[in-house]
Amino acid sequence: MRQLPLTVRHALSTIAFAAAAQALIQGSGESLLAQQSQSTTPSTTSSQSAISQSATPSVETNIQETQPPELNTLETKVRPAVIWVTAFDPKGNLLRTESGFFVSADGRFISTANAIEGAVNAVAKTADGGIYNVSGVLAVSKPLDLAVLKAEVKPQKLLRFLELDKNSELSLGENVAVVGSALAGSEGNGRETKITGQSSERLEIAGATAASSVGSPVVNENGDVVGIVTSSGEKTVGRPVAALDSILFRVTPDTQARWPQLAQASPTPHATPRPRLIYAPAPSFPPGASLPGQSGTGRFRLTFDAAGNVTNIQIATSTGNPYFDQAAIKTLRQWKSAPSQGWQATVPVTFRTR
């Protein structure tokens, strides 16, 4: 089973977890955890905790130490609605993680079609610690690489979402900004840029964009959405608001969220309860173990009882450092899941200093 690595760096921390739709219950294997990370802007003297995975962004946006006040204000307005979307396959393995953003108070959000290709379950996480199960897809367009999904949000009145700017027309050279998820670290920081090309279904944006920014909104100076990033790299490509509006138009009040991959599978007589983590703090970096370049990665198997408490932790693979192992076990014992039939999960944890 492919594991979702969790990186813990000195002083700041994050953790990954997931509620896998096909979680194995009571000794039937491993349940995958959804990605959860919390990070702040890094400095040269502190380490940060981040989720590491096989599709680590290879292109990093160059962020200055200080941002213009206008960009800070725009980022503060937009970021609460930007989410980190983690998708899983039928076996509970991590498929990929991309960004997205809420567009309504009832939990509808937009991401790319690629983000959920082949998925049967996903979770969406906001920077303030909100974790929402994704109940399914409302509409999808592979040609446009766009998808509208539904997150289970309660209470709805607290959800922050973005408005689409359907009235104004973009012009070449117009200033816009790309605002990613705060959970992507510095790569999610707001970036001022310009429109370099556009059509009814294509938006070209100046400058390089990190892979973690795919699915992020492109906004105007008021924080309204004018597009979405669908391709990263040295040349940033996206879809304009007209394309977003066209796929949102397919969603009617009676549209039911579903996972196409599940609809193709053979039905089972009884639905299997899906364990869901409700508390999963990140392991803290052990004091006195912060030598430059020091790191260690381990795997820890957690056993949850029916009440959702961790009853046992086994070191599947040691980090190679007893202090790292002890720090991981101490924090993982605090984890809590929703009541279930009891289940197990193997959690990869990485400690790293700069």
pLDDT higher than threshold 60 for residue 273? no
Q: Using the predicted structure, report yes or no on whether residue 39 has a pLDDT greater than 80.
A: no
For the ranges 220-229, 230-239, 269-278, 307-316, the lowest mean pLDDT is seen at: 269-278
Q: Look at residue 354 in the predicted model and tell me its pLDDT.
A: 62
Residue 6 falls within a domain, yes or no? yes
Q: Please state the rounded mean pLDDT for residues 100-114.
A: 95
Q: How far is Cα of residue 157 from the mean position of the Cα atoms in its chain?
A: 22
Q: What is the Cβ-side half-sphere exposure of residue 101, based on CA atoms within 13 angstroms?
A: 33
What does the pLDDT average to over 237-261? 91
Q: Does position 10 have pLDDT exceeding 60, yes or no?
A: no
Number of domains in the chain: 1
Q: Give the whole-angstrom CA distance, residue 239 versus residue 185.
A: 24
Regarding pTM above 0.75, the answer is no
- Please say whether the beta carbons of 352 and 47 come within 8 A: yes
Domain of residue 310: give its range.
1-51+284-354
Do 32 and 20 touch, CB atoms closer than 8 A? yes
Residue pair 151/104 in contact by the 8 Å Cβ criterion: no
Q: Is residue 79 classed as helix, strand or coil in its secondary structure? A: helix
The verdict on residue 229 lying in a domain is no
Answer yes or no: is 21 within a domain.
Answer: yes
Residue 349 lies in a domain: yes
Q: Which of the two residues, 250 and 169, has the higher pLDDT score?
A: 250
Q: Which residues contact 66 (CB under 8 A, 6 or more apart)?
A: none
Cβ neighbours of residue 244 closer than 8 Å, sequence gap 6 or more:
110, 146, 164, 225, 227, 228
| Dihedral sign, Cα of residue 131, residue 132, residue 133, residue 137 | negative
Please report the pLDDT score of residue 272 as a whole number: 55
Residue 140: inside a domain:
no
Assess whether the previous peptide bond of 286 is cis (omega < 30° from 0): no
31: pLDDT confidence band, cut at 50, 70 and 90? very low
Q: What CATH number is attached to the domain comprising 301?
A: 3.30.2420.10
Residue 215 reports pLDDT greater than 60: yes
pLDDT 10s digits, 79-94: 999 999 999 988 888 9
Three-state DSSP class for residue 158: helix
